[in-house]
Chains A and B, each alone.
Chain A
Amino acid sequence: MKGPNEGELARAHVVIQQYNRRFPPMEGLQKGTIFPELYMPYEKMTKETVKRDSWRSFGRGGRNG
Chain B
Amino acid sequence: MWIYEKKLEYPAKICGTNPKLAKAVITQYGGPDGELGASLRYLTQRYTMPTGRSKAILNDIGTEELAHLEIVATLVYNLIKDASIEQIKAAGMEGYYADHDKGLYFVNGDGVPWVASYIQSKGDPITDLHENMAAEQKARSTYEHLLNLSDDPGVSETLRFLREREIVHYQRFGETLMHLYDHYNSKRIFI
Contact = CB atoms under 8 A, between A and B. Distances in A.
Secondary structure call for the A interface = loop
B185 interface: yes
Contact of B164 (A11, A12, A14, A32): A32
B183 to A, nearest CB: 12
A32 to B, nearest CB: 3
Contacts of B130: 12
Interface string B119-138: 00000000000100100000
Nearest to A46: B148
Interface stretch (B21-29, B74-82, B97-105, B170-178): B170-178
Given A33-B164, A38-B168, A40-B167, A57 B144 contact: yes
Interface of B: 10-11, 130, 133, 140, 143-144, 147-148, 157, 160-165, 167-168, 171, 174-175, 177-178, 181-182, 185
Given A33-B164, A38-B168, A42-B143, 8 more contacts: A5-B181, A29-B161, A38-B171, A40-B164, A41-B160, A42-B144, A45-B148, A54-B144
